[in-house]
Amino acid sequence: METLSDILETTAFEKVAGGFVFAEGPLWHPDGFFYFTDIRDSKLYRITLGQKHELVRETIGGNGTTFDLQGRLVMCEGEAKRLTRTEHDGTVTVLVDRFEGKRFNRPNDVVCCANGDLLFTDPSLRVPAKDRELDNASIYRLKPDGSISVVAHFEYPNGLALSPDGRTLYAANTRWTQYIHAVELDAEGKAVRRRVFADMSAEGTNGVPDGMKVDQAGRVFCTGTNGTWVYAPDGRLIGVIETPEVCANVAFGGPDLRTLMFTASTSVYTLRVKTPGIPHPWYAPRGK
């Protein structure tokens, strides 16, 4: 039976940056650096490992990040209730901030599908009921043509990740009951059924189901109580990578996609793993 020793190449964390309020949104760029955000300080950073991190721009509650198929950075800016795209020249475009004319609650995390569709979560719990224009907390699909639709309603949808074949969407549920949902998608990307993939309820307050990623073997890495929980593709818990601080998100990076970055409260850490993460669909045309 698989254990964490079969997954981790190193077990000692390397702290690569610190001094943040609440680090989030790690994302590997194939030019050799990671992006990450500080939600509560509303900043987007980049870091080349071994060097000091650099400020890229101010955000409005920048959180989860991904790329589109042209390599432009897409970000959930929760405080501004919107998804933005940073163009190659550095200008910022608002991709979407409403559904059926109503403002989103607090967009949280986003992933890019192989066809360019963007899937993102919009939880509502942290927005006072009187200030909500949308009653439901949901996962949305934004197509390249600008059309938007609901994938599924959730209690408190947070982190997202896709399976290696892109046919299963994993969604972390952060509040009330803590679990990971698996949403099965058809060839057109529509939800056909859903199930509880893993129960993440646990004693303690140092972490909740939040950011997640999937490796090329189909294992799911999801932050939670005490650290990052690692699951086999069938939902069996392999173990918990205990982090030095409360961890909110993870990302695979490095030229071989075997450096696992943890955005953990005030700091950013790395470990090495034996199996690469799933490459973003934009990487392939670049030969990365």
Partners of 73 in the beta sheet? 67, 86
Give the per-residue pLDDT at 286.
Answer: 57
Predicted TM-score (pTM) of the model is 0.96
* Residue 249 near residue 32 (C-beta atoms within 8 A): no
pLDDT at site 66: 98
Domain map of the chain by residue range? 4-286
pLDDT of residue 285: 60
pLDDT at 1: 86
- Per-residue CA distances from 186 to 109, 149, 168, 169, 180 (Å): 22, 15, 9, 11, 19
What pLDDT does residue 189 have?
87
Q: Which fold has domain 4-286?
A: Neuraminidase (2.120.10)
Any residues with CB less than 8 A from the CB of 7 and at least 6 apart, and which? 219, 230, 238, 239, 273, 274, 275
Residue ranges of the chain whose pLDDT lies below 50:
288
